[in-house]
Structure 1
Amino acid sequence: MASPNTPAPPNAAASPNPSDSPNPSDSPNPPASPNIEAILASYAGFRDRDIEGILSGMHPDVEWVHPEGMGKYGLGGTKLGHAGIKEFLAHVPTVLGGMRLAPREFIEQGDRVVVFGTREVTSLRGTTATLDFVHSWTMRDGKATRMEDIFDTVAFHELIES
């Protein structure tokens, strides 16, 4: 099992990332699809706190969507393009003390990839909680054109305010 700071390889439906095996030729599963590889690159960017790494798997005109219920904290709504994502990510530390993503399961169908995972979130006051997420990715030519973050906004509000 991957640590909370490391993306887990995709499940059998999506095929493991060959770089997770010491010798990819020893792996019984084929390499991950280009779509999943792009998404894994973005998750690695989050892990490494590398904004350019995050954006590497995203189309320049990507839609970055978070629940409207997070608007109270400036974390809701749709951000457009790499500039919108950079602005969003620059705002996050004013609301949260930290966050680590742990994607667990990848399901791919056509141009859609749905990722189930958890995130370890720390409030500005130091309270930490592990919260579930679902990321719905829409892909085109190996780049994300839309990423929608779906999660329990009530639990997130409680953590932020704790």
Structure 2
Amino acid sequence: MSTEKNVQVVKDFLAAMGNYNERDDEPDLLALVTEDIQWIIPGKDWPLAGTYRGHKELAALIKKASQEVDMKFTTPPEFVAQGDRVMVVGVAEGKIYATNKPFYDEWVFDLTIRDGKVARFKEYIDTQALARAAQKGASELAA
């Protein structure tokens, strides 16, 4: 696929993630990823950290994320692509539901496209800010 088409695949995937409704949209979202998708979220002391593989684990991750985090992407992301790789650079703000603490996260997503679908998704996120927001007890802004 062309680089432009790969960027469009990523845009479609991110739009589907942003509009995700568990009951109605799961089949549409999963249709945009390979059966063996690998999603990597680095860190520790952060409820979503880990490596998730396949449709079943991806669906569970998305459900868990919707229960753990209120997140808004506050600026339009930037897309940088070469071949089958697309990097997305952006900013997110939100709060962790369990602690009601806010966070500010500048991130980069590294996606690999295979046969017109997302095959690998690795997040480069501010794990420290998210871990601080997830900790019970501290009251400062996690930034």
TM bucket, shorter chain: 0.7 to 0.9
Partner of 1:62, secondary structure, is strand
Letter in 1 for 2:114: R
| Equivalent residue, structure 2, for 1:100 | 72
Which ranges of 4 or more aligned residues in structure 1 deviate by more than 6 Å?
Answer: none
**Is 1:140 the counterpart of 2:111 in the alignment?**
no
Partner of 1:123: 96
- Say if 1:38 and 1:56, in contact at 8 Å, map to a contact too: no
Distance 1:150 1:122, change over 3 A: same
User: What residue in structure 1 maps to residue 40 of structure 2?
Assistant: 65
Aligned partner of 2:92: which letter?
A: R
* CA distance in 2 between partners of 1:148 and 1:103 (Å): 19
1:36 to 1, 4, 7: 7
TM-score, structure 1 normalization:
0.69
Task: Give structure 1 stretches of 5+ with no counterpart.
Answer: 1-31
Structure 2 residues without counterparts, runs of 5 or longer: none
Look up the match of 1:15. Answer: none
